[in-house]
Amino acid sequence: MTTHDHDTEVFEAQGTHESFSDAYGASVDEGLDGAPVFNVSGGDWNDLVDEATALHEERIVVNMGPQHPSTHGVLRLILELDGETVTEARAGIGYLHTGIEKNMEFRTWVQGVTFCTRMDYLTPMFQETAYCLSVEKLLGITDQVPERANIIRVLMMELTRINSHLVCLGTGGMELGATTVMTVGFRERERILRVFEAVTGLRMNNAYIRPGGVAQDLPHGAVDMVREVVGELRQGLHEIELLINENPLLKGRTVGIGYLDLTGCVALGVTGPVLRSTGLPHDLRKSDPYCGYETYDFDVVTRTGCDAYDRIRIRIDEMYQSLKIVEQTLDRLQRTEGQPVMVQDKKIAWPAQLAIGGDGQGNSLDHIREIMGTSMESLIHHFKLVTEGFRVPPGQAYAAVESPKGELGCHTVSDGGTRPYRAHFRDPSFNNLQAVAAMCEGAQVADVIVAVASIDPVMGGVDR
């Protein structure tokens, strides 16, 4: 096959002489019916790009989304391209808006937990904790929350952190073609979801953490179950490390990709692993402790590469630190066995004597017998507390926790009623998504997937 220039070619077709311009064809033959047959071969890509640039034509605008990998939801990325190079990137959000914050204004303070837990489906325990901490500030009962309740909160949050990171690494690996990372990551996540189901009755959207404590104590055998899972998770994390850490293909796709330095992070309000990949050890568990985190021994993991690869490595190391915290909570849970898990103020405390029976989750039979058989006042109080809810003094409060994606804050406002006047969340994915332009502009189209995956946004939390 001979190579032709982009000049005009003359050949015979169906008995007549016709002139054809064959810009990209290597040769032109005559078919069986006398019609021309074009044998196409590729030109040099750099030459084509140079030609397109010399024409000064408008650049291509491409919609990546509103459904696309690496977004954990419905995100629209508007990319302006010059060949394969991204010259401008913008994020279009709002496709997954659920009205969660507005709905919370029409439910009692406790019912609000069942809404905010659904924002970021990978980190339900963190939304619940941030919301409950802000409500407890308004009530003035922060110091009255029982020690055992705080220990359980820390246990559930750290297991949730591992759960979130496993999905981030698994889906991110799958988008790069490493399907084994996905299967191993989700296998390990399944172990954690089984713990959640044993403790709360649900695998996701748990509504387990309540203002004043938690919905119920750990069931019998839960501590031993978690100890066994911790050992299995360590082994699974080691497998993920072997697949990822020094994989030359993964490093080739992630090292130097999605670069965002400390100045950029601070300017955009970016937190979490993206911020810690710049070397800044910012972690609310250390800088502004809550739920007794100041009493736990763990390290804040940092790296200095400011790229997608370092964010992967940070998440892996953070999972090991979370396992370290989980083991400390298990020792404390054995020491505090039998202690209450809800504040003692009966005007606030929802019944925490719950049990998971054959028909699902409900109040324990002993508690039902007590309020229905011995005290009419207890039954009336129980009814009003559940249906009407407790009143919260007028005021406003903000509480923040360190979620797997960064600072997750909740600002609640009370007008003195039984439901929030306003509940607004600072979801870290919302702020972190602002970095899309800084990370992607000047890079290749394929690198956009890597950069967005390294942010790990969940659109349910972004749109709320």
Q: Where are the domains of the chain?
A: 92-348+390-463
Angle, helices 147-175/445-455, rounded to nearest 10 degrees: 170
Going 101 to 102 to 105 to 110, the CA torsion angle's sign is negative
The rounded distance, in Å, linking the Cα atoms of 403 and 306 is 20
**192 vs 353, more confident:** 192
User: Mind listing the pLDDT tens digit for each residue in 280-331?
Assistant: 999 999 999 999 899 999 999 998 888 899 999 999 999 999 999 999 999 9
Tokens linked to 17: 């002489």
Which residue, 92, 100, 222, 95, is CA-closest to 152? 222
CA angle 449, 452, 456 (to 5 degrees): 125
Which residue, 200, 106, 118, is CA-closest to 464? 118
- CATH architecture observed for domain 92-348+390-463: Orthogonal Bundle (1.10)
The rounded distance, in Å, linking the Cα atoms of 216 and 61 is 53
For the chain, the average pLDDT equals 82
Looking at residue 22, its pLDDT comes to 47
Looking at residue 352, its pLDDT comes to 58
User: Mind listing the pLDDT tens digit for each residue in 62-84?
Assistant: 888 776 655 677 888 888 888 88
Task: Decide if pLDDT at 42 tops 60.
Answer: no
Cβ–Cβ < 8 Å for 205, 216: no
Range 223-230 average pLDDT: 92
Looking at residue 10, its pLDDT comes to 37
What is the value of pTM for the model shown? 0.81
Tokens linked to 319: 């999972």
Which residue, 463, 439, 430, 405, is CA-closest to 79? 439
What do you get for the CA distance between the two ends of the chain, in Å? 59
Angstrom distances, CA of residue 373 to CA of 221, 353, 365? 31, 16, 11
Cβ–Cβ < 8 Å for 14, 34: yes
